[in-house]
Amino acid sequence: MNRILAFFFLLAACTTGAQNTEVSGTALGRPGELVRVLVYADQFSLLDSTLASAETDVWGNFSLSFSCDKTEYAFLALGLKKGEFYMEPGLAYRAFVRADTVKGSVFDQLPLQFDLEEGSGNLNKMIGEFNFDYNTFILQHQKQLLRAKSDKLINDFIVREKTRFANELSGNAYFNDYVAYSFASLEWISKIKSDTAILEEYFTGREVLYENIAYTEFFRDFFKQYFKNLKAFDYPVLVSTMNRGELFYIDSLLQQDKWLEKDGRVRELALMLLLARNYYNKDVGKEKVLNIFTEIEKTGNYDRNRIVAGNFKRKLLKLDYGSKAPLFELKNTQGQRVALSDFKGKFVLLNFVTSRCKPCFFNFQKMEQIQSGFENKLEVVVVVSDEKAEKVMPYVKDTRFHLLNLENNILLLEDYEIKTYPTFIIINPNGTIAMAPAPLPDENLDVYIERFMQSYKNQNKEKAN
């Protein structure tokens, strides 16, 4: 599609405004389960945002309705499992969730599998067919693609696909850009075009496609490697510049590259990705990185980039030391409700387990010893994630642990980013995160707790003075 035609498609989308969009479906045999439609708050930080949620009825049916103003790369979530789809404003989607065929932890399974009917649209069908061709081509020719001189092979494939999808490319701006940046990624990984050629043709001086997942994925992959390839951005220089904690200095450094110097918007996005990757770098001060994100968020020249900066900050600070611990209120084995706020003024060792996780039980004796060593300063809270706390009860009956059932509060696992069992979290007396995740009990967990207790005590002394 030429750029003039693409402009009119974009203009039509903008003037249409937000439209009611519906996602309904059936998950047979899954009554009373949480269903959500999620998107990324932006596709650079990848911060999750929930558009709508509901529960399946007794037959497993669900229906969600919400406002949508642009084509979105979205996720349908049933419980904690998610599957991707593409969502256009004003359309009605119907999903038929397939039965699970893999047992075990939800984090070890495939993404949510479902068949999708997309009303009067066909974007998912088009992208699915194109992705099949694209992935098949890569699998069949991976050896040739890794060698030099694969220009003809790739160019022939691009011509074939453009011919096959000629009508679709001219009729849908999102699909047109999706295909274009998928081809750009192929040209880049096969090295038939140099980094500077890629920059000039696809990024600098071009519209930033904040909503197109093929664009943003390629952008993130490209710039991750780009800074490694350029000697001007060697490690010591980057580190010292980031540690100055001001946008001016890191932006000036990136402007030394003649291609990045041309486009402030692209340069700023690339800069934010660079900062985020170095947030946990021991040689870079976290507060310096956050200072630069704050400066972009408050005073940046580009509205969308300011939003991205704020999202990066929220994502990086989640479960970081001093951030607010996600609240919970769960039932214990006696049916009494226990909340995180009940432990205000004490350190909390939060332990997520399942009744099927036998190794989880081996930690309880060591945890009891750790708790005894800190007298009444530490509370141990064990959350059983599969709602079968009674099976864990025999292992903790002689302890002072608080044994809680997760029940249907599954989003707590997302809030604490629980991906394996057991997982330990240390929470400060003021309800903020001390460490997430924390080491296992036999990996000097008691030493970490003691350090955090001393650090917390020192901070309170400083505040008092």
Question: How confident is the model over 43-66, as pLDDT tens digits?
Answer: 999 999 999 999 999 999 999 999
pLDDT confidence of residue 231: 63
Q: How confident is the model at residue 8 (pLDDT cuts 50, 70, 90)?
A: very low
Q: Which of 102-106, 145-149, 217-221, 260-264 has the least mean pLDDT?
A: 102-106
> Do residue 299 and residue 352 come from a single domain?
no
Whole-structure pTM value: 0.89
- Tell whether the model's pLDDT for residue 317 goes beyond 90: yes
Listing from the earlier edge strand, what are the strands of the sheet with 61-68? 61-68, 19-26, 92-97, 114-117
Residue 257 has pLDDT above 80, yes or no: yes
Q: Which of 317, 339, 359 is the last residue of a domain?
A: 317
pLDDT at residue 107 greater than cutoff 70: no
For residue 95, which of 195, 2, 26 has the smallest C-alpha distance? 26
CATH code for the domain of 32: 2.60.40
pLDDT of amino acid 108: 53
pLDDT at 15: 42
106 pLDDT more than 90: no
pLDDT at position 11 over 60 = no
pLDDT at 149: 64
300 and 355 assigned to the same domain: no
Q: Kindly tell me if the per-residue pLDDT of 235 is higher than 70.
A: yes
Q: What was the pLDDT predicted at 204?
A: 96
Residue 60's contacts (CB-CB under 8 Å, 6 or more residues apart) are 26, 27, 28, 29, 30, 31, 33, 97
Q: Is the pLDDT of residue 16 over 60?
A: no
Task: Give the Cα separation of 100 and 94 in Å (integer).
Answer: 19
The answer to whether residue 3 is domain-embedded is: no
Question: Residue 236 and residue 257: Cα distance in Å, rounded?
Answer: 17
Query: Cα dist. 100→26, 28, 78, 81 in Å?
Result: 14, 11, 11, 10
| Planar angle of CA 245, 250, 254, nearest 5 degrees | 170
State how far the alpha carbon of 308 is from the alpha carbons of 224, 269, 276, in Å.
Answer: 17, 8, 12
Other beta carbons within 10 angstroms of residue 301's beta carbon come to 10
The answer on 252 and 158 residing in a single domain is yes
Backbone torsions φ then ψ of 211, nearest 5 degrees: -100, -10
Query: Given this model, what pLDDT does residue 104 score?
Result: 52
Domain-embedded: residue 256? yes
Q: Is residue 210 pLDDT above 60, yes or no? A: yes
Amino acid at 173: A
Q: What is the pLDDT of residue 2?
A: 45
| 1 within a domain of the structure (yes/no) | no
The answer for residues whose C-beta is within 8 angstroms of residue 137's C-beta and 6 or more apart is: 157
Same domain, yes or no: 78 and 177:
no
On whether both 88 and 151 belong to a single domain, the answer is no
Q: How far apart are CA 341 and CA 114, in angstroms?
A: 39
Residues 49, 183: one domain? no
Last residue in a domain, options 280, 297, 317:
317
Confidence at residue 145, expressed as pLDDT on a 0 to 100 scale: 82
Using the 3D structure, point to which of 290, 317, 344 is the last residue of a domain.
Answer: 317
159 shares its domain with 289? yes
pLDDT at 187: 94
412: domain CATH number is 3.40.30.10
Does 438 have pLDDT greater than 60? yes
Tell whether 305 and 387 lie within a shared domain. Answer: no
Clarify whether residues 434 and 342 are in a common domain. yes
Whether 409 is covered by a domain: the verdict is yes
CB atoms within 10 A of CB 30: 18
Confidence of residue 198 (pLDDT cuts 50, 70, 90): very high
309 and 383 share a domain? no
**Percent of the chain whose pLDDT exceeds 70:** 94
More confident residue, 355 or 295: 295
pLDDT category at 387 given cuts 50, 70, 90 is confident
Strands 423-427 and 347-353: antiparallel
Q: What is the CA radius of gyration of the chain?
A: 25
Number of domain units in the chain = 3
Cβ count within 10 A of residue 170: 15
Which helix (DSSP H) or strand (DSSP E) does residue 148 occupy? none
Asked whether residue 324 is assigned to any structural domain, the reply reads no
460 — pLDDT class (breaks 50, 70, 90): confident
Rounded to an integer, the average pLDDT of 407-433 is 94
Average pLDDT over residues 405-428: 94
Average pLDDT, the chain: 91
The pLDDT, as a whole number, for residue 434 is 97
Structural domain range at position 88: 13-120
125-173: pLDDT as tens digits: 999 999 999 999 999 998 888 776 678 999 999 999 999 999 999 999 9
CA pair distance 63, 337, nearest whole angstrom? 31
Looking at the structure, tell me whether residues 37 and 132 fall in a common domain.
no
351's CB contacts (< 8 A; 6+ apart) are: 360, 363, 367, 380, 381, 382, 383, 422, 423, 424, 425
Burial 447-459 (b: 16+ CB within 10 A, else e): ebbeebbeebeee
DSSP state of 430: T
CA distances from 342 to 345, 347, 430 (A): 9, 11, 11
Is a pLDDT exceeding 70 seen at residue 102? no
5 is a domain residue:
no
Q: Are residues 108 and 236 in the same domain?
A: no
Reply yes or no on whether the pLDDT at 101 is more than 60: no
